[in-house]
Structure 1
């Protein structure tokens, strides 16, 4: 895992561990920043109880989160991409959203069958219209 040794106990144990999310909000930014890739996992479904709190944390790292979001967007998990685009990317400042222009343009113009099924082309167009 990518996080710093010794900090794994700071992550939520599961999608119901709201208490750990609240503790994360109070930690030093440098510690939380080291956990960003793992925190993204907790927004694979924004219906999970931990998701709103995790999103709140992630949005406080608009520049730092970009490479980790790009990793998700490069994956095959189109459902996760839907949540990432709808609840995280669209809420980032313009400077951060611009980092996803190439991906968003490709999905808006030439979506795969799976991307069409998840309606990623629609959210991509919506985000592009805000740039």
Structure 2
């Protein structure tokens, strides 16, 4: 039940009713729907994604190491803060690479968001 468009809230509502075994394989495709958190389905999709933090973490890491600035930003400011501590530790290396501008091309907003994410780890 992948949304067909950015207004397909019905598909997201159906995801909430699906068993875990059917949702987990869809996580990479669902993660694409938070490339822009301004899309109407983004908040609802994020709720679904966050129900599976362990399974979601490697997919978030791929995004963080990728080149889509907007998607990286939303993962840093909306996904990362909601993940459990263990998942944050798994992602810490990728976040540090962004913060230290080791991933090119780098976006200043993402560098600042990565630094903030790292600071949040220090307070846990």
TM-score by length of 2: 0.90
Instruction: Report deviation, 1:112.
Output: 5.6
Residues 112/67 of structure 1: CA separation in 2 closer, same or farther (3 Å cut): closer
> 2:100, 2:77 → 1: CA distance?
18
Relative to structure 2, which stretch is displaced further, 83-92 or 56-65?
A: 83-92
> 1:110, 1:37 → 2: CA distance?
25
Instruction: Report deviation, 1:116.
Output: 3.3
Q: Is residue 18 of structure 2 the alignment partner of residue 27 of structure 1?
A: yes
Q: Pick the aligned partner of 2:93 from 88, 96, 102.
A: 102
Q: Is residue 111 of structure 2 the alignment partner of residue 121 of structure 1?
A: yes
Any gaps of 5 or more consecutive residues in structure 2?
none
Q: Which residue of 2 aligns with 1:75?
A: 66
Are the equivalent residues in 2 in contact too, given 1:111–1:121 (CA < 8 A)?
no
5 Å-filtered alignment, 1:18-97, equals 18-97=9-88
Any gaps of 5 or more consecutive residues in structure 1?
1-9
Deviations 1:12-45 (A, max 9, x none): 1111100110010111011010100000010010
Relative to structure 2, which stretch is displaced further, 23-32 or 65-74?
A: 65-74
> 1:11, 1:90 → 2: CA distance?
24
> 2:24, 2:76 → 1: CA distance?
20
Instruction: Report deviation, 1:60.
Output: 0.6
More helix by share: 2
TM-score by length of 1: 0.86
For the aligned residues, what is the CA RMSD? Answer: 1.4
Are the equivalent residues in 1 in contact too, given 2:69–2:107 (CA < 8 A)?
no
Instruction: Report deviation, 1:87.
Output: 0.8
Are the equivalent residues in 1 in contact too, given 2:36–2:74 (CA < 8 A)?
yes
- The count of corresponding residues between Structure 1 and Structure 2 is 121
